[in-house]
Chain A
Amino acid sequence: MIRINCPWCGERNMVEFTYGGDANNVYPGLSEETSEKQYFEYTYLRDNPCGPHLEYWHHVNGCRQWIKVKRDTLTHEVIATVPADKPVGEKE
C-alpha cells in the first residue's frame, strides 16, 4: 500500500486518494491565442517515464485537495509531495 504524505493531512494510505496523472502537463489557458495544438498536447500527450514521475493525486477521501506527488513509477517510492499549485521543492 503506497503511503502518500498529504501536505495538508500528513501521511495517508493510497486508498484515500484518486490518481490524476501527469503533472508536468501544463494547462494551456482559456484564451483565443492558445492554439488547438496546445490543447491537443495538453489533452492527449503524457510524460510516461520509468522512474521519478510528477503526478496529481486528489485526496478525495480526506481534505479533498489536489496535490502534486513525485513518485517513482518502478519502485513506487514517494519522493516529494506539495500542494497542487506549488512547484515541487517549494514548501508551503
Chain B
Amino acid sequence: MSRYSALEVLKGGLTGQKHWQRAWRDPEPKQEYDAIIIGGGGHGLATAYYLAKLHGMSRIAVCEKGYLGGGNVGRNTTIVRSNYMLEDNAHFYEHGMKLWEELSQDINFNVMFSQRGIINLAHSDAQMDAFARRGNAMRLNGIDAELLTRDQVKEHLPMLDYSGKARFPVYGGLQQPRGGTARHDAVAWGYARAADMLGVDILQNCEVTGFDIHDGKVQGIQTTRGAIKSGKVGIAVAGNTSRVCALAGLNRLPIESHKLQAMVSEPLKPFIDTVCTFGAGHFYVSQSDKGGLVFGGDLDGYNSYAQRGNLPMVAHVLQCGMALMPAIGRIRLLRHWAGVMDMSMDGSPIISTTPVKGLYLNGGWCYGGFKATPASGWCFAHTVAQDRPHRLNEAFTLDRFERGYLIDEKGVGPIPALH
C-alpha cells in the first residue's frame, strides 16, 4: 500500500489517480482474536491501533455494526482542547493534546488538526474568576492558557456584539491557544487505515448480538457475521453503551443516552478564526476549512437514541448565536443533526475494567468524546492489554460513582443532562 505523500498525489495526477488501493481491507471475520474491540468509531479504531502498535498484539478485530466512523466521530463539532480544571481530566486530555499534535504524521493521514485556539467567553466577574481558577490550574498542570481581557477578545473575535445593546456583555475570556479543530472523518479513516496496516481486521456491518461469558469471564461474542472468540473484549460504543453492556449482563449503568445537536452553515469565506464558546447560553462556533460555520448547542434534554434533533433547540442555539454575533443573521443554516451521547453521572468518561473478567468499558463521554479520541484509545489499549488502567485513566473507573470519587468538572451532580 502506498504511503500518503504529496509526491504520490502528484504521481497519481499523471496516471489518473488510478494507483490508490483500499484504505482498509474488507476481511472476513476470523474464528478467534487476541482482542476484540466493539465499535468502529474513533475510540474503537484508535484503541485497535494502539493495541497493535504499542502492545504487540497482532490478532485484533474491530466490530462495527454499520460503516466505520458512522457514530459520533462523524457527527461532532470537531473541537480539540485540553482546557480542564480537575487534575484527572487535565492530565488525561493534555496527554491527548500531545498525541493530537503528532497524529497526522503518526498515522500518515492528514487529520487537519488546526491549532486555531479556543476562547471561552466570560460575561461576568464571577465567570472571569471561575475561568481564572481553571486557567491557573491549567498553567500549573503545564497546559497553555491565557486569560484575555475584553479588548484582547475583540482582537480575536471582532464580529461579536460589543455594543451597549449586548444582553450579556463580553468581560473577557479564557483561551487555550493550542486548542482547535480537526477533520473528524479523517480521524476515523486515518486510524482505520493505520490499524489495518498493522493487521487489525475491521469488520463493518458486524453487529454484536451477544456475549459469551462463563464463570464471570468473557470468552467471545456473537455477531451478525457469526461467533468470534476472544478472551479480551473492549466496548467502545459511546451513545449505545447501555444497550451493548446489557447484552453482557451489565444492566443499569451510570449513563443516560441523550442527543446533542449540531449544525453547519453554508460555506463562507473566512469569518471566524478560532473556536469560540458563549458563556451565557449554550452555543459554540468554529469554521471548517470548507467554510461552513459549525455550531453546537445543548442537549434536547431527554433520553434519546434518535440521531436527529428537534426545532426548539435549534431556535434556542441560534437565539444565543444572534445575541452573541448579530452578523450571522443573513447567513443560512445548511444542515442540522444530532448525535447520541453517553451522558455520565459526573460528566466524565469511563475507561475501565468491569465486573466481568476480560470485558472492558470505554464510554460515558458526554460532549467530549471527539477531542479525547487519541488519549482514549491510548489508555483503553493499555487497559485492555494490561488488564488494568494506566495511571492516566485510573480515576475513570466504573466504580468511582459508588465510592464517591467523582470527577465533576461542572459541579452539577448526578443529573446527566446538565453536564
Asked, given contacts A73-B303, A73-B305, whether A48 binds B257 with beta carbons under 8 Å apart, the answer is yes
- Which of B243, B255, B302, B310 sits near A46, CB closer than 8 Å? B255
Q: Inside 8 A of A15's CB, which chain B residues have their CB?
A: 312
Asked, given contacts A21-B256, A46-B252, A50-B243, whether A1 binds B311 with beta carbons under 8 Å apart, the answer is yes
Q: Inside 8 A of B301's CB, which chain A residues have their CB?
A: 18-19
**CB within 8 Å of B: which of A7-55?**
14-15, 18-19, 21-22, 37, 40-41, 43-50, 53, 55
Q: How far is the CA of A50 from the CA of B415 in the complex (A)?
A: 19
Q: Inside 8 A of B415's CB, which chain A residues have their CB?
A: 21
Q: Inside 8 A of B402's CB, which chain A residues have their CB?
A: 37, 40, 44
Q: How far is the CA of A73 from the CA of B305 in the complex (A)?
A: 6
Q: Is B383 part of the binding interface, using a Cβ–Cβ cutoff of 8 Å?
A: no
Q: Is B252 a contact partner of A55 (Cβ separation < 8 A)? A: no
- Which of B242, B256, B306, B345 sits near A74, CB closer than 8 Å? B306
Looking at the assembled complex, report how far the CB atom of B325 sits from the nearest CB atom of chain A, in whole angstroms. 25
The residue on B at minimum CB distance from A75 is B306
Q: Is A48 a contact partner of B302 (Cβ separation < 8 A)? A: no
Q: Is A46 a contact partner of B312 (Cβ separation < 8 A)? A: no
- Which of B254, B303, B305, B310 sits near A45, CB closer than 8 Å? B254
Q: How far is the CA of A1 from the CA of B302 in the complex (A)?
A: 12
Q: Inside 8 A of B303's CB, which chain A residues have their CB?
A: 19, 21-22, 48, 53, 55, 73
Subset of 21 A-B contacts with CB under 8 Å: A2-B302, A14-B312, A15-B312, A19-B303, A21-B303, A21-B415, A44-B254, A44-B345, A45-B254, A46-B242, A46-B254, A48-B242, A48-B253, A48-B257, A49-B243, A71-B302, A73-B257, A73-B303, A73-B304, A74-B304, A74-B306
Binding site for A on B (CB under 8 A): 240, 242-243, 252-257, 301-306, 310-312, 345, 401-402, 414-417
